Amino acid sequence: MAVEIESIRNVAFISHGGAGKTSLIEAILFNANLTNRLGSVDNGTSIMDFDPVEVERKISINAKVCSLEWNKILLNILDTPGYGNFLHETKAALSVVGSAILIASAISGIKAETERVWDYSEQFDLSKIIFINKMDKERADFFRTIGDIEKSFGVKVVPIMLPIGKEENFKGVIDLIKNVALLYEKEGIAEYKIVEVPDEYKEITDNYRNKLVETICEINDDLLERYLEGEVISDEEIMKGVREGTITKRFIPVMCGSAVKNIGAKLLLDAIINYLPSPIEREFKRARKTNNNEVITIDPKNSNFSAFVFKTFIDPFAGKLTLFRVYSGELKNDMEIYNANKKEMEKINQIFLLQGKNHIKTDSVSAGQIAMVNKLKSTETFDTLCSKDNIIVFDEVTLGEPVITFSLEPKSKEDEERVSNALHRLTEEDRSIKISRDEQSGELLISGMGQMHIETIIDKLKKKFNVEVKLKTPKVPYKETIKKSAKGQGKYKKQSGGRGQYGDVWIELQPLERGSGFEFVDNIVGGAIPKNYIPAVEKGLVEASKMGVLAGFPMVDFKAILYDGSYHTVDSSDLAFKIAASMAFKSVAAQASPVILEPVMIMDIFVPEDTVGAVIGDLNARRGRIENVEPHKNGSHIRAKVPMAEILKYAPDLRSMTGGRGFFTMEFSHYDEVPPSIAEKIIEAAKKEE
């Protein structure tokens, strides 16, 4: 179903977790006659939260799409997660829309996650409407929430409606544009009675309506002149002004209501159509030509097909489902298109429009639309699909680096291969998951955006792929090195009838600079050891160094000099010299002041100003070294170097210290010597494990 681009609105619903995004969308679906009852997240009857893990946890963990028609306009509504562990999904969804509805809770106001999704919406330069939800709940306060929004985001907000009643007595809204009251008489029905503004609300209504009109006139010189001359500005002119101010981001209109009581949801539908932009007005996307790397802006009216994949779902039965946004041209069933990232052709089987968990077959989609196809061979999230004769590439969405890592262990040996396959499928669905194998310990490691993120991945493994695993804190990849030079002998002599074994080596071990690795020097003169046995000596040293002499960690950053030895013309062999070298290494390394090294991470931590002292104190207690503290938006940026062993589970601790408002990134910096008191504990633990 191709649609005129002017008749499309692409909008994401964003907020912190628990503000009521999904419930508000469920009310919208009910009002648009796509359901015959109000779906409920708490009761597990939501159309949008359909993943078994979402149903069980009663939270959104995936971005979902719902396409619906309202007053002859096609709306593509994206429901996004609001909990910190899943905001990478929200960022990907925001990359393909032109506007956002920020849902603010009238109870809790603005939280850390609200600030982060707001920042994402600003990165993509989205027009916005704010909907203050939960007006029917205890402690709900419309005006306090508006103050919270202005303080947190530093933007100009303009109410276009006011609440009637408070908390359990919330029963309707005042439409400031039309200057009337809308009273809801039956809960959940969304039908209202239009009446005059009640006397007790007339003064505040006049006050806020005048502010609205003045704001509109400030962006239109003709209106301003007429207003100053005392002319009445019509409702139609106010609506037009609200639209212009919203699309140009001069201000943000504010609405209110209750999702669970279906108060205000239908009015929000009208506002999306009336005040938010169509793709032709705001959603031009930049891309690169692959032949010359030229950056271009995609014209939605261009006939060449182009689309961006922003989400992949893995269904155990239906396979891979690919969600994409069309930026130009038209896509039809049975077409062949080009994947510019994978440099492969893909055949389109069936195109679907989405209504949460329901898939609606369609013959075609055009510029501005959001849809899904199944069974693409090579296409992954953030790939570009286009026509072969006009190859372009859209930039990938940059997701944050994982902040927590666990070791994964299948509950049974039979599950090892199935675990690997299932994890590969899940990384197709969620690009923020990182899977690796620790070279030192052999552990299978999984990294994610937080503990809850990792736990939901484990839930998905079980529910989607029937694979069970155990989670463990990963081992810190300690290493060993030496601090001084030492010399010694390794001699292997074995005779037990027949041919014996004989190898004799003298080596010197010297420390090298951190990060140098291993260096071997052959200083044999006069044929003390024949040349053909020298490689065996080096091999013996390399293999022995994989198990250091203190706690069995790999030995690094040292030079081994082979300077003397002896051999037997009959009994010497490669094996004998390899064993002799290993013996020499163990003997000499123990005399060379061996120490344990630990990985140190460089951390960039962003925290509110009122928590800087607590966070720095905590980092000091973790043996961290503060490198720099500088001002950052709404707080401070702390850069520190901290031993990995001290921050394996830092994410929940930082969340606790900052009330959920802090976040961090980290990467490996270098290896450093472990203090003797801690080294003793590490050695003791290693011996117990052995």
Mean pLDDT across 637-659: 89
Mean pLDDT across 173-190: 89
Please report which confidence band the pLDDT of residue 50 belongs to, taking 50, 70 and 90 as the band edges: low
Higher pLDDT: 233 or 208? It is: 208
Please report which confidence band the pLDDT of residue 617 belongs to, taking 50, 70 and 90 as the band edges: very high
Q: Is 112 helix (H, G, I), strand (E, B) or coil?
A: helix
Task: Report the C-alpha gap between 610 and 148 in whole angstroms.
Answer: 17
Spatial contact of 487 and 523, defined as CB atoms under 8 Å apart: no
Please report which confidence band the pLDDT of residue 232 belongs to, taking 50, 70 and 90 as the band edges: confident
DSSP 231: P
Task: Report the C-alpha gap between 536 and 455 in whole angstroms.
Answer: 47
Describe the chain by its helix, strand, coil percentages, rounded to 5. 30, 35, 35
DSSP 239: H
User: What is the predicted pLDDT for the residue at 258?
Assistant: 93
What percent of the chain is modeled with pLDDT above 70? 96
Neighbouring C-alpha atoms within 13 Å toward the C-beta of 444 = 12
Residue 385, Cβ neighbours under 10 Å: how many?
Answer: 25
Q: Which residues pair with 289 in a beta bridge?
A: 392
Say yes or no to pLDDT of 220 above 90.
Answer: no
Strand order in the sheet with 518-522: 486-494, 501-511, 558-566, 518-522
Chain centre distance of CA 210: 43
User: What is the predicted pLDDT for the residue at 219?
Assistant: 87
* Residue 489, token pair as written in the block: 């002998």
User: What is the predicted pLDDT for the residue at 233?
Assistant: 85
Q: Where are the domains of the chain?
A: 5-282, 286-393, 404-472, 479-592, 598-689
Report the CATH fold assignment for 598-689: Alpha-Beta Plaits (3.30.70)
Helices and strands, number each (H, E), in the chain:
17, 37
Q: What is the pLDDT of residues 479-490, one digit of tens each?
A: 999 999 999 999
Say yes or no to pLDDT of 584 above 90.
Answer: yes
* Residue 569, token pair as written in the block: 């013309």
Task: Report the C-alpha gap between 31 and 189 in whole angstroms.
Answer: 8
Higher pLDDT: 509 or 411? It is: 509
Please report which confidence band the pLDDT of residue 497 belongs to, taking 50, 70 and 90 as the band edges: low
DSSP string for residues in 581-624: HHHHHHHHHHHS-EEEEEEEEEEEEEE-GGGHHHHHHHHHHTT-
Please report which confidence band the pLDDT of residue 58 belongs to, taking 50, 70 and 90 as the band edges: confident
Domains 5-282 and 286-393 share a fold: no
Q: Strand 306-315 and strand 558-566: pairing?
A: unpaired
- Closest to 663 in 3D by CA, of 152, 148, 120, 113: 113
Task: Report the C-alpha gap between 103 and 685 in whole angstroms.
Answer: 50
Spatial contact of 400 and 90, defined as CB atoms under 8 Å apart: no
Task: Report the C-alpha gap between 169 and 535 in whole angstroms.
Answer: 87
Say yes or no to pLDDT of 342 above 70.
Answer: yes
Please report which confidence band the pLDDT of residue 226 belongs to, taking 50, 70 and 90 as the band edges: confident
Q: Which CATH superfamily is domain 286-393 in?
A: Translation factors (2.40.30.10)
Mean pLDDT across 76-104: 92
User: What is the predicted pLDDT for the residue at 45?
Assistant: 63
Q: Does domain 479-592 have CATH number 3.30.230.10?
A: yes
Task: Report the C-alpha gap between 420 and 444 in whole angstroms.
Answer: 9
Contacts of residue 410, Cβ cutoff 8 Å, sequence gap at least 6: 416, 418, 419, 467, 468, 469, 470
Spatial contact of 150 and 159, defined as CB atoms under 8 Å apart: no
DSSP 238: H
First to last CA, the chain: 66
User: What is the predicted pLDDT for the residue at 539?
Assistant: 96
Mean pLDDT across 662-666: 79
CATH of range 5-282; options 3.40.50.300, 3.40.640.10, 1.25.10.10, 3.30.565.10: 3.40.50.300
Mean pLDDT across 141-170: 93
Neighbouring C-alpha atoms within 13 Å toward the C-beta of 307 = 31
Spatial contact of 429 and 379, defined as CB atoms under 8 Å apart: no
DSSP 681: H
Task: Report the C-alpha gap between 115 and 98 in whole angstroms.
Answer: 19
For the question of whether the overall pTM of this predicted structure is more than 0.85, the answer is: no
Q: Which residues pair with 362 in a beta bridge?
A: 351
Task: Report the C-alpha gap between 412 and 160 in whole angstroms.
Answer: 60
Higher pLDDT: 226 or 92? It is: 92
Task: Report the C-alpha gap between 249 and 219 in whole angstroms.
Answer: 11
Tell me how long the chain is.
690
DSSP string for residues in 355-394: ETTEEEEESEEETT-EEEEE--SS--TT-EEE-TTS-EEP
Q: Where would I find the H helices in 386-478? A: 416-429, 451-465
Phi, psi of 410 (to 5 degrees): -60, 145
State the sign of the Cα–Cα–Cα–Cα dihedral 145, 127, 30, 24. negative
Q: Using the structure block, give the residue that is written with the tokens 């075609």.
A: 364
Average model confidence (pLDDT) for the chain? Answer: 89
Say yes or no to pLDDT of 42 above 70.
Answer: no
Spatial contact of 346 and 338, defined as CB atoms under 8 Å apart: yes
CATH of range 404-472; options 3.30.70.870, 1.10.287.610, 3.90.600.10, 3.10.310.30: 3.30.70.870
User: What is the predicted pLDDT for the residue at 20?
Assistant: 85
What percent of the chain is modeled with pLDDT above 90? 57
DSSP strands (E only) in 122-280: 127-133, 157-159, 161-164, 172-175, 180-184, 192-195, 252-256
Please report which confidence band the pLDDT of residue 585 belongs to, taking 50, 70 and 90 as the band edges: very high
Task: Report the C-alpha gap between 366 and 137 in whole angstroms.
Answer: 42
Q: Using the structure block, give the residue that is written with the tokens 């026509």.
A: 387
Please report which confidence band the pLDDT of residue 243 belongs to, taking 50, 70 and 90 as the band edges: very high
Residue 483, Cβ neighbours under 10 Å: how many?
Answer: 11
